[in-house]
Amino acid sequence: MSTGTPSITIPADLLPVDGRFGCGPSKVRPEAVAALAAEAPDYLGTSHRQAPVKFMVSRLRNAVAELFALPDGYEVILGNGGTTAFWDAAVFGLIDDKSQHLTFGEFSGKFAECATRAPFLQDPSVISAEPGTAPTARAEAGIDLYALTHNETSTGVAIPIVRPEGADDGALVAVDATSAAGGLKFDASQTDVYYFAPQKCLASDGGLWIAAVSPTAVERIERVASSGRWIPASLDLKIALDNSLKDQTYNTPALATIFLAVHQMEWINQNGGLGFSSGRSARSAEIVYGWAERSDYATPYVADPALRSNVVATIDLDDAIDATTVSKVLRANGVVDTESYRKLGRNQLRVALFPAIDAEDVDQLTRCIDHVVAELRTA
């Protein structure tokens, strides 16, 4: 294994039109950036308490409701700090006493860690599975929030979203959908809190969290907020709820992030909704997993085809080929962010298959990888 990056030039006819395959921040559609530039003079740099921005927030809330076909009574709320801040907000304002977490990778593990460290909560029940597989929720008496992860971005495992049968009345199902929201189908009535940040399937930028919350979750937020528990204002879901209902955020949001997320969701909704966007990801998944299965040096990391994610593909390479070198050569040719999740520690490529990414480009990516590997083998 050499330390420098071999100088391999990928022929132009193999290159994708857009070389961004990262799992977040991920490809932003050029059409969205152009639309932002066109509207910038009347939008960027204007007050988030005035009509133009409030209207954009209202478009965002409506677009989420339409995209997920939210049942009556569900609300769309938002705040600053991305999904990581939402975990802290959930620990303060959503978990009553004890949560259950399914952990099967880095992200699902982080929320469990937040809940474990909170001094005012009981230690959570944690059901773990090896990376590359998935655990199943089990109803337990005394659990008031079940924490699921729709797509574990670190491993490329996606799970079906269903309420655990036999859960206590009023127990919430909270789903981290950061890399799934907009790319995977689900039934919103199986969830009470479907939360995410928009730098993945929503092809926007980071820094914002968005949550679709059921009437039961709204009740929970209101009850916990009035319970006397100390909650920092920037993490207070009741404050976020009250502001969101007025199409505002508690403090200044990134206006470009909101705009780009709206653009992406309206593009999806105008083209047929979640069926359209999840179909785009499914087509890309078919291409990349099919290629890996036919290849003599690449294998889908997730052994169970039913758990293989349509939005994040993880592909193991034969030990004779160094995946890091492959990623570096791709990067030198303008094809970026195919590195595997660092803490997983595998000889692996990880490729986003988010709806903004064209299946034709995923197909081209597989040709690029084949070319690089053939060159490395003959070097």
Ligand X SMILES: *Cc1c(COP(=O)(O)O)cnc(C)c1O
Taking the CA atoms of residue 132, residue 113, residue 149 and residue 191 in that order, the dihedral angle to the nearest 10 degrees is 160
Stretch that binds ligand X, among 127-135, 164-172, 174-182, 235-243 (CB under 6 A): 174-182
What token pair was written down for 78? 């938002």
Indicate whether 175 belongs to the interface with ligand X (CB under 6 A): no
**DSSP letter string over 73-115?**
T-EEEEEESHHHHHHHHHHHHT-SS-EEEEE-SHHHHHHHHHH
* Binding residue for ligand X, selected from 16, 22, 24, 253, defined by CB under 6 A: 24
Q: What is the DSSP letter of 70?
A: P
* Binding residue for ligand X, selected from 21, 68, 92, 107, defined by CB under 6 A: 107
Q: Which is nearer to ligand X, 19 or 156 (CB)?
A: 156
Stretch that binds ligand X, among 161-169, 171-179, 182-190, 254-262 (CB under 6 A): 171-179
Q: Which residues contact 262 (CB under 8 A, 6 or more apart)?
A: 56, 59, 60, 63
Indicate whether 178 belongs to the interface with ligand X (CB under 6 A): yes
Indicate whether 206 belongs to the interface with ligand X (CB under 6 A): yes
Indicate whether 179 belongs to the interface with ligand X (CB under 6 A): yes
SS3 state at 361: helix
* Binding residue for ligand X, selected from 26, 83, 340, 366, defined by CB under 6 A: 83
Residue 183 CB, nearest approach to ligand X (Å): 11
CB atoms within 10 A of CB 188: 18
Helix (H) or strand (E) holding 63: helix 51-67
CB atoms within 10 A of CB 286: 14
* Binding residue for ligand X, selected from 16, 19, 82, 182, defined by CB under 6 A: 82
Q: Which is nearer to ligand X, 10 or 208 (CB)?
A: 208
Stretch that binds ligand X, among 30-38, 173-181, 183-191, 369-377 (CB under 6 A): 173-181
Pairing between β-strand 208-213 and β-strand 75-80 as defined by DSSP bridges: antiparallel
Q: How many residues of this chain interact with ligand X, rule: CB under 6 A?
A: 12
Distance CA 55, CA 76 (A): 14
Residue 299 CB, nearest approach to ligand X (Å): 23
Q: Which is nearer to ligand X, 351 or 368 (CB)?
A: 351
Indicate whether 278 belongs to the interface with ligand X (CB under 6 A): no
* Binding residue for ligand X, selected from 46, 58, 62, 84, defined by CB under 6 A: 84
Residue 325 CB, nearest approach to ligand X (Å): 26
Distance CA 221, CA 211 (A): 12
Q: Is 129 left (phi over 0), alpha (psi -120 to 50) or beta?
A: beta
Distance CA 59, CA 329 (A): 41
Stretch that binds ligand X, among 76-84, 94-102, 302-310, 321-329 (CB under 6 A): 76-84
Distance of CA 70 to the CA centre of its chain: 19
Q: Which is nearer to ligand X, 147 or 317 (CB)?
A: 147
Residue nearest to ligand X (CB): 82
Query: In a 10 Å sphere around its CB, with 0-12 CB exposed, 13-18 middle and 19+ buried, how is residue 363 labelled?
Result: middle
> Which residues 123-152 are close enough to bind ligand X by CB under 6 A?
149
Angle (nearest 5°) at CA 335 between 81 and 16? 115
> Which residues 183-202 are close enough to bind ligand X by CB under 6 A?
197
Indicate whether 234 belongs to the interface with ligand X (CB under 6 A): no
Distance of CA 50 to the CA centre of its chain: 30
Q: Which is nearer to ligand X, 83 or 277 (CB)?
A: 83
Residue 108 CB, nearest approach to ligand X (Å): 7
* Binding residue for ligand X, selected from 176, 192, 337, 361, defined by CB under 6 A: 176
Residue 181 CB, nearest approach to ligand X (Å): 10
Tell me if 258 sits within 8 A of 205, measured CB to CB.
no
Pairing between β-strand 312-317 and β-strand 348-352 as defined by DSSP bridges: antiparallel
Indicate whether 109 belongs to the interface with ligand X (CB under 6 A): no
Point out which residues bind ligand X (CB under 6 A): 24, 82-84, 107, 149, 153, 176, 178-179, 197, 206
